[in-house]
Chains A and B, each alone.
Chain A
Amino acid sequence: MAKMVKRVLKRVFPPETAGFLLLQSWGRKLRLLPRPGKGDVAYAEWIRNSEPQTWNRQDDFAYRPLISILVPVFNAPDYYLLPMVHSITAQKYTNWELVLVNASTEPVYRRLTEDCAQIDNRIKVVNVEKNKGIGGNTNIGLKHCTGEYIALADNDDLLSPFALSEVVHVLQGSVAHRPEFIYSDEDKLSDDGEYRFDPHFKPDWSPQILKSANYLNHLTVLSAAVMKKAGGIRKGFDGAQDYDLYLRILDEKPRITHIPKILYHWRAAKNSTAQNFTVKKGVTGSGERALTEHLKRNKQKAHVRALPKRPGFYRIIYDLPRRTKATLLVFPTKNKDQQQALIGQAIRSAAFSEANVEIIVPVAAKNAPEGAYTLRIVEETDSRTFLERALKAANGDFVVGLNAGVIPKDKDWIDRLGGLVCQSDTIGVAGPQLLDKGTNTLLDAGFALQEGRLIPLFEGTPPATHTYFGSNDWARNVQALSGRVWAAKTGVARKYSASGLPLSYQKMLDDGLEVVFWPFVRLYFAGDLQVPASDTAYFTGHLQYVQGQMKLPRAIDLPVRRSE
């Protein structure tokens, strides 16, 4: 009987359709169907296996600064607030103070927060008569912080018991090198506090990601002096007040350190930002404004757009400076048809560019249509020598390298890449998002290092996927690019290809230039076009070269989780 019902239901509601999902959720609610396991099994196992080993056991530090933990409290019920407070009293490191800014309006919650001062003598409660919003309340709290360092936390989140001890650990050493801005990895905590999920293993300092999303978030510890210099939280940025603060502080170029450990558990409370970003209206608007002002302060002409349906994520569209000249380099391939197709792509793209485009090709173009572009020929069959000679000949302000098999998806892609590299002095080279034409999944989002080996980031994930390492539609600082498509200022490209090899990413990184994955420009890589043997060898050789040189920033030992 039950089997019959199952069979009929399967026929009527095929798996994964909307009806099926609705039925499934009702079945689970009524407890007719088994509920899915809580949390993320792979992550739970990672916690069990890795966390205690990475904990810092040392607590006889030479330098023991007072760390103020600043928590604005607004109508927090005891089942959120008390675990938060006790996650601080449970710290292994003892030289801290907790400043609770009590802006609760409900008498029950107000009294609860006041009573928190009784829990420990290191807890200060600052009563605020009138709720001034999260920014105003934080500023009031800042006046009461006496610590050398200030950590910001929310009233329903948890710190891991070794959080402060890890922070103090990186503060040891000479004063001149002492970090002023420290951030750590974080994960989420279920509403009832039962399990942790959705970790974010952050990369080391990445200014590009910060311009895509507030990836620093929690736990962030700032030196009080730096905080004072920045003037605390600004009014009018509620919801993204910390994003604005970080962007302003970073303009001052503080010493930044990343602690690659999960020190903060962000409670996915039913009405908090962690669970549902849209609950807090205005977050996206405030974030957009904070970012726009940051760009203005840095004298960059650009506009900021919030990513649709991806609250808290932004894209920056850099304007191409006026009267910019672009040079497209079409690299040689052995396959003649492919070579002509590639030249055709370059010519078609040039038509959409506002810049004055010159295209340098290795062979004469067949049936090249008329247009506002200059076609020049540097006859060469070897990629390396072609690059060297073409760069010498290039007249553009920036160069874009194009290899066989790419098809632009966004029409204005040259201008977008050009705007990015021309407007930023710190960017060495930028590579766009390369998608597989057939499966529409990422082929190239740059490379990161894992135990001395370069691994392609987010390879095979669909665009706009959130992983353990953040989203694949954030701009990112990477260790290397595949080099199928790249853009750089002509001067930079000349300087860093001088070694007789293609662009040397490691040299750029050593010189303080950024290698950037720029996901807001998308190109297809057509898999049906066979890359000739010589080209394959070129790419492989290229990768081996970078692999041999790269340093290890941090190990990545978790599978990339695909969002559902």
Chain B
Amino acid sequence: MTKAAFIVISWNNSDILQECFDSIRAQTYTNHRTILVDNDSKDDSVVAARRFMPEATIIENSNNDGFTRGNNIGIAEALRDPEVDYIVLLNSDARLASEWLQTVIDFAAGKPKAATLQGTTLDYYDHGIIDSTHIYVARNGQATQGSWRDTYADEFGPKKVFGVNAAACLITRSFIEAQPFGAELLDEAFFMYLEDVDLAARATVMGWDNYLVPGARAYHMGSASSGKNPGFSLYMTFRNNSAMLYKNLPMGLLLRLVPRIARSDLDTIRHLRALGKPEAARKVLKGRLIGLLRVPLFIRKRRIIARNRRVSSTYLWHLMRQGY
């Protein structure tokens, strides 16, 4: 029986940890362990976690190195256990339905090239609304959440998708071990935001499969940790966008995207200004400019990914329409 490891990052959010742990403990598939990585919380997160789930492995970081580094540390710890075949990344503000793990593992078994999988993630506050079914890079270069805010209706068969939302997703060990960068699954240069899109793009470009597994339901609050600072999230999104695109996409496709990206950026800025948020518009511009300046940081990674590329630009272009 294969083992799964849950990885949860805490950062000043002891208030929501208990519910998260409860949903892990309620899983019908029982062969799993939990690793909590605390990013130097200033509140009582660690104490609370010890109380809620004494059997969990807790790793205390001495400083906040971001969501990506936190997860990488957790993943490295989990993979030290040779029995662990599946890693589940679970945001502290996400909850799982009790059959989530069972459903996803059932589907992943027998798929050697499955990289990442997610179920249908619904809005925590309103289960009739979808938070995400998948993520993808749209044809305007923007990272996009599939079916976001759509009404939740009946689900049909599983789908191969561009990528999965890291709020609640399962990653296979074989994919992690096939990474060309060694242990670094999530790019630490991203700090936070778009690291999951970067991972999705990398998996897809390298010819791995990401799946949406309907029937596995998760519930996500959304931006509980950083929602308090919307300007920061805008800045980070736009900063990391350039890196994500540059790292992963073939040059022909990238050139095809450039005019569309420029148009979409201008639209975003105009839109934000029209809403009376010139501050946010400036963050977008700053994010894009700094992102472009940071592009040289990713030259080496781009080369490595290009060497491992298995799919054509046309295939990617087709996927970029709606993510499947």
Whether B318 and A193, one on each chain, are in contact in the complex, defined by CB atoms closer than 8 angstroms, is yes
Interface locus among B94-102, B121-129, B163-171, B307-315: B307-315
Q: Chain B's nearest CB lies how many Å from the CB of A89?
A: 7
Interface of chain A residues 86 through 127 with chain B (CB within 8 A): 86, 89-92, 115, 118-122
Given A79-B315, A192-B318: A90 and B158 within 8 A (CB)? yes
Interface of chain A residues 434 through 470 with chain B (CB within 8 A): none
Whether B110 and A79, one on each chain, are in contact in the complex, defined by CB atoms closer than 8 angstroms, is no
A78 partner residues in chain B, CB cutoff 8 A: 311-312, 314-315
Q: Chain A's nearest CB lies how many Å from the CB of B47?
A: 45
A119 partner residues in chain B, CB cutoff 8 A: 111-113, 209
Complex Cα gap A119–B111 (Å)? 5
Whether A121 and B312, one on each chain, are in contact in the complex, defined by CB atoms closer than 8 angstroms, is no
A193 to chain B: closest residue by CB: B318
Whether A121 and B110, one on each chain, are in contact in the complex, defined by CB atoms closer than 8 angstroms, is yes
Given A78-B315, A79-B315: A162 and B157 within 8 A (CB)? yes
B270 near A: Cβ within 8 Å?
Answer: no
Whether A90 and B311, one on each chain, are in contact in the complex, defined by CB atoms closer than 8 angstroms, is no
Specify which of A122, A161, A193 is in contact with B156 (CB 8 Å cutoff).
A161
Whether A79 and B314, one on each chain, are in contact in the complex, defined by CB atoms closer than 8 angstroms, is yes
Complex Cα gap A122–B318 (Å)? 25
Given A86-B160, A161-B156, A162-B156: A115 and B312 within 8 A (CB)? no
A52 partner residues in chain B, CB cutoff 8 A: 153-154
B207 near A: Cβ within 8 Å?
Answer: yes
Can you list, as one digit per residue, whether each of B287-307 has a CB less than 8 Å from chain A (1) or not (0)? 000000000000000000000
A82 near B: Cβ within 8 Å?
Answer: yes
B311 partner residues in chain A, CB cutoff 8 A: 78, 82
B256 near A: Cβ within 8 Å?
Answer: no
B50 near A: Cβ within 8 Å?
Answer: no
Whether A55 and B156, one on each chain, are in contact in the complex, defined by CB atoms closer than 8 angstroms, is yes
Complex Cα gap A130–B111 (Å)? 29
B157 partner residues in chain A, CB cutoff 8 A: 90-92, 161-162
Whether A194 and B321, one on each chain, are in contact in the complex, defined by CB atoms closer than 8 angstroms, is yes
B207 to chain A: closest residue by CB: A115
A77 near B: Cβ within 8 Å?
Answer: yes
Specify which of A79, A89, A118, A194 is in contact with B312 (CB 8 Å cutoff).
A79
Q: Chain B's nearest CB lies how many Å from the CB of A456?
A: 37
Interface of chain B residues 116 through 158 with chain A (CB within 8 A): 153-154, 156-158
A83 near B: Cβ within 8 Å?
Answer: yes
B312 partner residues in chain A, CB cutoff 8 A: 77-79
Can you list, as one digit per residue, whether each of A175-201 has a CB less than 8 Å from chain B (1) or not (0)? 000000000000000001110000000
B154 partner residues in chain A, CB cutoff 8 A: 52, 57
Whether B159 and A90, one on each chain, are in contact in the complex, defined by CB atoms closer than 8 angstroms, is yes
Whether A92 and B314, one on each chain, are in contact in the complex, defined by CB atoms closer than 8 angstroms, is no
Interface of chain A residues 242 through 300 with chain B (CB within 8 A): none
Judged by DSSP, the binding face of B is: loop
Whether A92 and B113, one on each chain, are in contact in the complex, defined by CB atoms closer than 8 angstroms, is no
Whether A118 and B318, one on each chain, are in contact in the complex, defined by CB atoms closer than 8 angstroms, is no
Complex Cα gap A90–B312 (Å)? 22
B321 to chain A: closest residue by CB: A194
Whether A120 and B314, one on each chain, are in contact in the complex, defined by CB atoms closer than 8 angstroms, is no
Q: Chain B's nearest CB lies how many Å from the CB of A268?
A: 14
Whether A90 and B160, one on each chain, are in contact in the complex, defined by CB atoms closer than 8 angstroms, is yes
Considering only CB atoms and an 8 Å cut-off, how many residues of chain B contact the other chain? 20
Size class of the A contact interface (CB-based, 8 Å) = 20 to 34
Complex Cα gap A119–B159 (Å)? 13
B211 to chain A: closest residue by CB: A89
Specify which of A77, A120, A162, A192 is in contact with B111 (CB 8 Å cutoff).
A120
Whether B113 and A118, one on each chain, are in contact in the complex, defined by CB atoms closer than 8 angstroms, is yes
Complex Cα gap A121–B112 (Å)? 8
B160 partner residues in chain A, CB cutoff 8 A: 82, 86, 89-90
A78 to chain B: closest residue by CB: B315
Specify which of A79, A91, A115 is in contact with B310 (CB 8 Å cutoff).
A115
Whether B318 and A121, one on each chain, are in contact in the complex, defined by CB atoms closer than 8 angstroms, is no
Specify which of A55, A83, A162 is in contact with B318 (CB 8 Å cutoff).
A83
A92 partner residues in chain B, CB cutoff 8 A: 156-157
Whether A82 and B315, one on each chain, are in contact in the complex, defined by CB atoms closer than 8 angstroms, is yes
Complex Cα gap A120–B207 (Å)? 13
Interface of chain A residues 52 through 94 with chain B (CB within 8 A): 52, 55, 57, 77-79, 82-83, 86, 89-92
Whether A79 and B158, one on each chain, are in contact in the complex, defined by CB atoms closer than 8 angstroms, is no
Q: Chain B's nearest CB lies how many Å from the CB of A546?
A: 41
A83 partner residues in chain B, CB cutoff 8 A: 318
Complex Cα gap A89–B161 (Å)? 12
B109 to chain A: closest residue by CB: A121
Complex Cα gap A86–B159 (Å)? 8
Whether A118 and B112, one on each chain, are in contact in the complex, defined by CB atoms closer than 8 angstroms, is yes
Complex Cα gap A118–B209 (Å)? 10
Complex Cα gap A118–B315 (Å)? 18
Given A118-B112, A119-B113, A122-B110: A79 and B318 within 8 A (CB)? yes
Q: Chain B's nearest CB lies how many Å from the CB of A107?
A: 14
Complex Cα gap A122–B107 (Å)? 12
B111 partner residues in chain A, CB cutoff 8 A: 89, 119-121
A77 partner residues in chain B, CB cutoff 8 A: 312, 314-315
Complex Cα gap A537–B318 (Å)? 59
Q: Chain A's nearest CB lies how many Å from the CB of B162?
A: 12
Which of A55, A89, A161: most chain B Cβ within 10 A?
A: A89
B209 partner residues in chain A, CB cutoff 8 A: 86, 119
Complex Cα gap A79–B315 (Å)? 4
B110 to chain A: closest residue by CB: A121
Q: Chain A's nearest CB lies how many Å from the CB of B226?
A: 34
Can you list, as one digit per residue, whether each of B74-106 has a CB less than 8 Å from chain A (1) or not (0)? 000000000000000000000000000000000
A89 partner residues in chain B, CB cutoff 8 A: 111, 158, 160
Q: Chain A's nearest CB lies how many Å from the CB of B91?
A: 27
Complex Cα gap A115–B207 (Å)? 9
A55 partner residues in chain B, CB cutoff 8 A: 156
Q: Chain A's nearest CB lies how many Å from the CB of B209?
A: 6
Q: Chain B's nearest CB lies how many Å from the CB of A522?
A: 45
Interface of chain B residues 179 through 228 with chain A (CB within 8 A): 207, 209
Complex Cα gap A271–B318 (Å)? 18
A52 to chain B: closest residue by CB: B154
Complex Cα gap A225–B157 (Å)? 29
Q: Chain B's nearest CB lies how many Å from the CB of A88?
A: 10
A192 partner residues in chain B, CB cutoff 8 A: 318, 321
| Apart from A52-B154, A82-B311, A161-B157: 5 A-B pairs, beta carbons within 8 A | A82-B315, A86-B159, A115-B207, A121-B112, A193-B318
Interface residues of B (CB under 8 A from A): 110-113, 153-154, 156-160, 207, 209, 310-312, 314-315, 318, 321
Interface residues of A (CB under 8 A from B): 52, 55, 57, 77-79, 82-83, 86, 89-92, 115, 118-122, 161-162, 192-194
Sort A-B residue pairs by CB-CB distance and give the 9 closest, nearest first. Answer: A161-B157, A121-B110, A79-B315, A86-B160, A118-B113, A92-B157, A90-B157, A79-B314, A78-B315
Query: What are 29 inter-chain pairs, A to B, with CB distance below 8 A?
Result: A52-B153, A52-B154, A55-B156, A57-B154, A77-B315, A78-B315, A79-B315, A82-B160, A82-B311, A83-B318, A86-B159, A89-B111, A89-B160, A90-B157, A90-B158, A90-B160, A91-B157, A115-B207, A118-B112, A119-B111, A119-B113, A120-B110, A121-B110, A121-B111, A121-B112, A122-B110, A161-B157, A192-B321, A193-B318
